[in-house]
Chain A
Amino acid sequence: MWLAKIVVTYKKGILDPEAKTIQHALVTLGYQNIEGLETGKYFEVRLKSDLKRNQAEKLIYEICDRVLSNPVIQKYSVELVEAE
């Protein structure tokens, strides 16, 4: 089975108010060494093992571009691994 680990985050320059709030809370708690913080969404997508790696990759990128991320405001990273 293929396992795709996908993280979707905001692009640079897009205001991420949730991240700002969390960062502010951490600094308020005394964690003074925090320089930045981003939030995002994590997805695990399992694919049938009879797909070749390049087929699995193609499918995942298509899903990411079309559904899981909004390319206007978000970017994503993918890690594709073979799993049990």
Chain B
Amino acid sequence: MKFGVVVFPGSNCDHDAYHVLKHVLGARVEYIWHKDTTLRLFDVIVLPGGFSYGDYLRAGAVARFAPIMPEIMHFAEKGGKVIGICNGFQILMEAGLLPGALIPNDHMRFRCQEVYLKVTNNATAFTRVYDAGQVIKMPIAHYCGQYFAEDDILKQLQDQERIAFQYCDSKGEINAAANPNGSKLNIAGILNEEKNVLGMMPHPERAAESILDSEDGLGIFKSLLGSD
């Protein structure tokens, strides 16, 4: 099991993801430079958080045309596992690997805080170590994290069990008060139809050591490590 963490100009959670995988979990991990045009052999690709290309135009809109991206799209289309965190989620959305769009938070403020998430689908390669409906805690740090999709797409996401995580309160209640950015259906993370691509706004790599208050994010990487 080998992980690859893509480094774009402006990525700033690449080292965090690398650190958690290598030093906390002892996994094999390498960086992937955005200008590479061939992909070495990986089992999981991480698109990390940050502000790739300064978030110019729209968050993720320029990174999605980086030289490495056709290879990553191809990897995903063949069934390779890809996880996009925060800016990585925005890139996946712009690349069309996940439906919908991430628009500025409804209150127009950058939110950096811990949130509670409900594990809405624990039957995926990314979430298998969690219990169904488990409430986990990890931070968000974004300005452009309001998930938007038309109603028919939202229904499809629900019907196909493609909502991985939803913002909730500490008791697991999904309500407006627990929604930090105005996302439709309190969506914090979604999957593609084949469920080999996950995009999420919260940062599991920032909640992976006890000194950081929460280790709940480790479950995602552990799930992947245990997956086929």
Contacts and interface: CB of A to CB of B under 8 A. Distances in A.
Interface string B181-216: 010000000000000000000000000000000000
B46 to A, nearest CB: 23
Given A14-B148, A15-B146, A15-B182, A70 B106 contact: no
A41 B58 CA distance: 11
Interface in B83-111: 94, 99-101, 103-108
Given A15-B182, A67-B57, A67-B65, A72 B105 contact: no
B61 A73 contact: no
B65 A73 contact: no
Contact of A15 (B57, B94, B103): B103
B149 A18 contact: no
A70 B149 contact: no
Contact of A72 (B104, B107, B148): B148
Interface in A19-46: 21, 41
B107 A70 contact: no
B80 to A, nearest CB: 24
Contacts of B105: 17
Given A70-B61, A72-B149, A21 B108 contact: yes
> Which range contains the number of A residues in contact with the other chain?
10 to 19
A70 B58 contact: yes
A60 to B, nearest CB: 16
B61 A67 contact: yes
Interface string B50-76: 000000011001000100000000000
Contacts of B106: 15, 17
A21 B105 CA distance: 12
A68 interface: yes
A17 B104 contact: yes
Contacts of A41: 57
Given A14-B148, A15-B146, A15-B182, A70 B101 contact: yes
Nearest to B107: A17
Nearest to A43: B57
Interface centre among A14, A18, A21, A67 (most CB of B within 10 A): A67
The 7 lowest CB-CB distance pairs between A and B, nearest first, are A72-B101, A73-B101, A17-B108, A17-B106, A70-B101, A17-B104, A21-B108
Interface of B: 57-58, 61, 65, 94, 99-101, 103-108, 146, 148-149, 182
13 contacts: A15-B103, A15-B106, A17-B107, A17-B108, A18-B104, A21-B108, A67-B61, A68-B57, A70-B58, A70-B61, A72-B99, A73-B103, A73-B148
